[in-house]
Amino acid sequence: AFEVALARSALTLQVPAGRTILEVLHENGVEMPSSCEQGACGTCLATVIEGDPDHQDVYLSAGERAAGKSIITCVSRCKSKRLVLDI
């Protein structure tokens, strides 16, 4: 499990093993567009302010992965305990 802090919404949510960031956002009434929910289309991309994304998608380029400034919220997770997103 890890924690997702939403910088613009002043909300902090827990993402347990087996749940996605996108699911947790939607369960908490946070708007995030989504489409494929398989890490392929990029619709659910969020900007990372802090934390170490564990990329599981097939959308971001190698450079974007390495930069760690964006995350595909329907599939990717976090290697650090806390992820801060610009949402």
Which chain residues interact with ligand FES by CB under 6 A?
34-37, 39-44, 57, 59, 72, 74
DSSP state, 75? T
- In angstroms, what is the minimal distance from the CB of 60 to ligand FES? 10
- In angstroms, what is the minimal distance from the CB of 3 to ligand FES? 20
Query: In the complex with ligand FES, which residue's Cβ is closer, 51 or 76?
Result: 76
Identify the sign of the CA torsion 40, 67, 47, 2: positive
Instruction: Count CA within 13 A, CB hemisphere, residue 71.
Output: 27
Query: In the complex with ligand FES, which residue's Cβ is closer, 9 or 34?
Result: 34
Bridge partners for 38 per DSSP:
none
